Amino acid sequence: MARRDIAIERSSDTTPLACTLTSADLATRSDRWKQLAALAMIERVETAYGLRISFRPASGVEEELRELAAVENECCSWAGWRVETDAELIVLDVRASREGIAVLHGMFKRQRNVRSSSATARTDEFTALIPVKGADH
């Protein structure tokens, strides 16, 4: 299988570090990430600019990951979301600058060892550090 990339670049360094989702939409999005991680996530690596998360190329994984990356670009445009694929892996590369890097490093932490943890015990920290539109905090 040939390697295919789709780049969704970070808007600018002046983009506010905030998620534009409502609390209800955030919960729905978080559930999608949890389901994808439970199905195929195999590795989470913190990089100097953000995260690289690897997934098995199971049925429907690439499509869901590309959809999630596209919608994350809309609500969290302070980061750049890129999906790379080859025959063995599907990789999500998420990059930010300055304070955004620390926020990215806080995402997906409890899903890191997906194979060794039970689905019911797993909790998503996907957006714990990002201010949410309409939230009471």
Quick check: 125 pLDDT over 90?
Answer: no
CA–CA distance, 38 with 119 (Å, rounded to integer): 7
Tell whether 97 is covered by a domain. Answer: yes
Tell whether 94 is covered by a domain. Answer: yes
CA–CA distance, 43 with 60 (Å, rounded to integer): 18
pLDDT of residue 9: 41
How confident is residue 126, by pLDDT bands cut at 50, 70 and 90?
very low
Tell whether 47 is covered by a domain. Answer: yes
pLDDT of residue 75: 85
Tell whether 31 is covered by a domain. Answer: yes
pLDDT of residue 7: 40
Containing structural domain, residue 38: 4-12+20-116
Quick check: 113 pLDDT over 90?
Answer: no
Tell whether 133 is covered by a domain. Answer: no
pLDDT of residue 111: 59
Tell whether 129 is covered by a domain. Answer: no
**Distance set, CA 14 to CA 3, 49, 100, 117 (Å):** 32, 16, 11, 38
When pLDDT is averaged across residues 56-63 and rounded to a whole number, the result is 95
- What does the pLDDT look like over 15-52, one tens digit per residue? 678 778 888 988 999 999 999 999 999 999 999 999 99
Structural domains counted in the chain:
1
Tell whether 41 is covered by a domain. Answer: yes
Tell whether 137 is covered by a domain. Answer: no
pLDDT of residue 15: 66
- What does the pLDDT look like over 63-103, one tens digit per residue? 999 999 999 998 888 999 999 998 899 999 999 999 999 99
What pTM does this model have? Answer: 0.71
